[in-house]
């Protein structure tokens, strides 16, 4: 089962490197259509000093073509995503259309700021849970799927999160195949 989704992974200064690389790598192993777009011209420096060159600048894209967004966390990457109205507008559109949004680590606060988490069960990094005032925060789950919204706790859950996204988009068999190949 191949997903028809076109997935945007935005890259903002201060992103969490493990989360970005793991998510994009696993989604591409599943042969999904993923675009890494920089919120600023690249290369972009991550939270731990690793520079990544985005494939394209966000300003060069037609955001209406994307049917899903996956937000890596990290600081100040999450803060930078929270300030980007293009990202917030895309999240709101996807939510209105019942499409998928996903966020890991601190990035669920971006979904919160976009106004899409009211009454939604989520998880996040412990450092931002108090900011998710409209959501139903589950501190024990490593990955939470609530309808079209998926969240996860942080760098240590990135592989589990990415495989859950593959299961959601391509089926459990594809996720299990990738997990086996990666020796998870």
pLDDT classification of 4: cutoffs 50, 70, 90: confident
Round the average pLDDT of the chain to a whole number and report it: 97
Tens of pLDDT along 13-44? 999 999 999 999 999 999 999 999 999 999 99
Task: Quote the pLDDT of residue 2.
Answer: 60
Mean pLDDT of all residues in 147-160 = 98
Task: Quote the pLDDT of residue 1.
Answer: 55
Per annotation, catalytic residue among 12, 27, 34, 105: 105
Tens of pLDDT along 42-56? 999 999 999 999 999
DSSP the chain: -----EEEEEE-TT--HHHHHHHHHHHHHTT-EEEEEESSSSSEE-TTS-EE--SEEGGGS-GGG--EEEE---TTHHHHHHT-HHHHHHHHHHHHTT-EEEEETTTHHHHHHTT--TT-EE---GGGGGG-TTSEE-SS-SEEEETTEEEE--GGGHHHHHHHHHHHHH-HHHHHHHHHHTT-
Tens of pLDDT along 94-134? 999 999 999 999 999 999 999 999 999 999 999 999 999 99
Q: Is 170 a catalytic residue?
A: no
CB distance 20 to 42 below 8 Å = no
CB distance 63 to 90 below 8 Å = yes
């Amino acid at each position: 089962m191949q997903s028809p989704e076109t997935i945007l992974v935005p890259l903002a200064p201060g992103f969490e490197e493990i989360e970005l690389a793991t998510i994009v790598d696993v989604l591409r192993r599943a042969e999904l259509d993923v675009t890494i777009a920089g919120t600023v011209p690249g290369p972009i420096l991550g939270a731990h000093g690793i520079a990544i060159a985005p494939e394209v600048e966000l300003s060069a894209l037609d955001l209406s073509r994307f049917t899903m967004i996956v937000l890596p966390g990290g600081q100040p990457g999450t803060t930078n995503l929270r300030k980007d109205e293009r990202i917030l507008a895309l999240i709101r559109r996807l939510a209105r259309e019942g499409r998928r949004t996903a966020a890991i680590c601190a990035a669920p606060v971006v979904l919160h700021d976009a106004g899409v988490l009211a009454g939604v069960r989520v998880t996040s990094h412990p450092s931002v849970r108090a900011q998710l005032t409209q959501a139903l925060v589950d501190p024990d789950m490593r990955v939470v799927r609530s309808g079209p919204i998926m969240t996860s706790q942080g760098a240590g859950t990135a592989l589990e999160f990415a495989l859950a996204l593959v299961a959601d988009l391509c089926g459990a068999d594809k996720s299990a195949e990738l997990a086996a190949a990666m020796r998870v």
